[in-house]
Amino acid sequence: MSSTDVVEEYVQDERDPSRSPNVPITGLMVQYYHVCKRELWFMANGIDIDRETTNIQRGTHVDETSYGTSRRSFMIDNRIQLDILDSGDVMEVKVSSALEKPARMQLLFYLWYLREIHDIDKDGVLAYPTERKRESVVLDETTTAEVESTVRGVLDVVGRDSPPQLEKKPYCGTCLYQDLCWM
């Protein structure tokens, strides 16, 4: 089966109420895939940690009152939690732009999921209120390919029998798995 088929099969499993994907992908899984594939494997294979603490340490957690008056939260399929602004854009708020790529890919995955699974076309806004910074995020040919590559990658990593090889990451110091990896 080609790698394209993996994504097509995933979409079919998500769209068909009588089927469900073997690995229901979440925004957090997408984020972890771009932070550390080993961390994604631990998380998806039942080795659990206090994610809230990790996200606070990394600056990916954000105060829920940020932009509280202009956005509404939705839970899609009991798995995809996203915020919609009055403008209709999907907003992802982060404290710091230090982990810009994981945050951008998480938001792009939400936009892709809405379009591919629910036929809803949306644009996105990535916001860093403490830095007074906003970035528009849209699905085009390039970013769609990035998301689909990520979906393939997540399915590959999660399905492995053992975690990806240990490599030092810039994020190890803020990772609660560091005791497993480095001690």
Q: For the CB of residue 35, give the shortest distance to ligand SF4 in the complex, in Å.
A: 7
CA distance 85 to 72: 7
- Contact letters for ligand SF4, residues 127-156 (x by CB under 6 A): ------------------------------
- Determine whether the annotation assigns residue 156 to a binding site: no
Residues 126/135, Cβ–Cβ less than 8 Å: yes
| Sequence-ordered list of residues with C-beta below 8 angstroms from that of 165, at least 6 positions apart, any chain | 38
- Contact letters for ligand SF4, residues 161-180 (x by CB under 6 A): -----x--x-xx--x-xx--
- Determine whether the annotation assigns residue 175 to a binding site: yes
Q: State which residue, 55 or 143, has the beta carbon closest to ligand SF4.
A: 55
- Determine whether the annotation assigns residue 83 to a binding site: yes
Helices (H), the chain: 3-15, 27-35, 37-44, 51-58, 100-118, 141-158, 178-182
Q: For the CB of residue 172, give the shortest distance to ligand SF4 in the complex, in Å.
A: 3
- Determine whether the annotation assigns residue 140 to a binding site: no
Measured CA to CA in angstroms, residue 48 lies from 45, 56, 65, 68, 157 at distances of 8, 16, 27, 30, 17
CA distance 133 to 76: 27
Q: State which residue, 35 or 111, has the beta carbon closest to ligand SF4.
A: 35
Pick from 7, 25, 36, 91: which binds ligand SF4 (CB under 6 A)? Answer: 36
Measured CA to CA in angstroms, residue 4 lies from 1, 7, 9, 148, 182 at distances of 8, 5, 9, 8, 36
Under rule CB under 6 A, residue 39 binds ligand SF4: yes
Under rule CB under 6 A, residue 38 binds ligand SF4: yes
| Residue numbers belonging to the annotated binding site | 36, 83, 92, 172, 175, 181
**Chain residues that interact with ligand SF4, rule: CB under 6 A:** 36, 38-39, 166, 169, 171-172, 175, 177-178, 181
| Residue numbers belonging to the annotated binding site for [4Fe-4S] cluster | 36, 172, 175, 181
